[in-house]
Amino acid sequence: MHASHKIIGAQIQENMDQMLVSSWFHLHSSVPLSYVQPPESRPGTAVVASGKTIPVVDLGVHDHVEVLGQILRASEQYGFFQVINHGVCNELIEDTINVLKEFHGMPAEEKMRESSKDPNGSCKLYSSREINNKDAIQFWRDTLRHLCPPSRQFIHFWPQKPSTYREVVERYTEEMRKLGVKILEVLCEGLGLDREYCNGGLSESPLLLTHHYPPCPEPSLTLGAPKHRDPTLLTILLQEKDINALQVFKDGEWIGVEPIPNAFVVNIGLLLQIISNGRLIGAEHRVVTNCERARTTVAYFIRPTNETIIEPAKALTTLHPPIYKSITYSDFLTIFMTKGPDIEPQLLLP
């Protein structure tokens, strides 16, 4: 190989290693300055509610009215709940977590190669440094994301390593699609809408995000994810067992979401807050780090196609005037990426 090619190759490898937190976290005994949060955002200074948790809904209960009431109350009061007895087999849950942990454990060069096959970016591996301004405060995680519509049109861009990745993740996303439909239909019924209101364009562009949070030398100074709300109708999250990191903001304090084995965490996204005309809460949440163990999560984002109009459901604005503007999902995402936590005033009607 020509010497100049070796230099270029070394530079590419160095850039990858700088980009992915998992490539360099073990070399630091302190958090790099670019990852240190401002004092008011640091987890070490915030009060975490003791003994409080988010609701748990048993989907195996045969009383439909009771399940509907629990889901609706949790969505109105917390914007978060966990579901158990949801019908997704434990073996698939374990296989999914394991194959994604295995992916994030591969060498950086191999991970990048496996997740950069689509020039349009339908599958991508990145850290917050790549999506934020390089001078902005960064977050302690790596993320693999890819589109996963039921049409399978992007599956040939998904990683082929580990060897079982596509087979396991395809089965998992299909189960998430079914579970998402079930929960959305219950919510729509509870709101007084047609049960299938959120089917079709409103949920046709799902996205899978796998976050990997390496151990952090100073967890009190940084965050895995900042205080935010999701740009989705609904998010279904699979957490690793025994690692408490997700926190929900309610009534001025943070509530820890303790992992329940084989349960899913469900949270209302901003889009469903708009559709419900503010009745449901797109709750703020964040992720803290720890110094002992890496943590991997799998988030299934139920999202619309870009041209879909997001607005309060007409059936909900006869007695209460709409408080949100009508906006395409594409325009919503543009505002979301620029305004972040301050997006809601931009969505309200004058």
Domains of the chain: 1-346 (2.60.120.330)
| DSSP β-bridge partners for residue 327 | 310
- List pLDDT tens digits, range 46-62: 667 777 899 999 999 99
Q: What is the pTM of this model?
A: 0.93
* % of the chain exceeding 70 in pLDDT: 92
Measured from the Cβ of residue 5, the count of other Cβ atoms closer than 10 Å reads 9
- List pLDDT tens digits, range 6-48: 443 444 444 544 689 999 999 889 999 999 999 999 997 666 7
Instruction: Report residue 78: phi and psi, to 5°.
Output: -120, -35
Which has the closest alpha carbon to 306: 322, 282, 277, 327? 327
CA distance 120 to 122: 6
Enumerate residues 6+ apart whose C-beta is below 8 A from 156. 117
- pLDDT for 45 equals 63
- List pLDDT tens digits, range 324-350: 999 999 999 999 988 888 899 999 999
Spell out, as residue ranges, where the chain has pLDDT lower than 70.
Answer: 1-18, 45-47, 130-135
Which H or E run includes 81?
strand 80-84
* % of the chain exceeding 90 in pLDDT: 85
- pLDDT for 131 equals 61
CA distance 41 to 137: 11
- pLDDT for 49 equals 75
- pLDDT for 93 equals 98
Locate the DSSP E strands across 136-245.
Answer: 142-147, 207-213, 225-228, 234-238
